[in-house]
Amino acid sequence: MATIPVKNGNPMELLIRDKLVRQFSPVHLDIINESYMHNVPKGSETHFKVVVVSDKFENTSLLQRHRLVNEILQNELKNGVHALSIVVSDFFKFTNCCDNSFLLPLNN
């Protein structure tokens, strides 16, 4: 299993990352704390955007993918995360539909 370092002491971000990596083994993962764009104290971890690209999403609908992510993060959504924006894709669609050259693969 990959070691996931604590980034800037952000425990919620670390927890989200750990759960998504364990569940989906993503080839690409971005977790963006968007809390600073909202009326919350500095350093808050209440609003996130996740971008998850995984072969485990193959042959699932967009709705099913969102449900899977929400299910994995249900505890965080009940305990501090106020908003979660989800972008999910399987690897084939991710590499063939868009210009994703600006995104770097997840280093395990």
What is the per-residue pLDDT across 38-61, written as a single tens digit (0 to 9) for each?
Answer: 888 888 888 899 999 999 999 999
pTM assigned to the model: 0.77
What's the CA gap between 27 and 12, in Å, rounded?
21
Residue 26's domain spans which residues?
A: 11-97
CATH of the domain at 18: 3.30.300.90
Q: What share of the chain is helix, strand, coil (3-state, %, to 5)?
A: 40, 20, 40
Residue 89, helix vs strand vs coil: strand
Q: Within a domain: residue 6? A: no
pLDDT at 91: 72
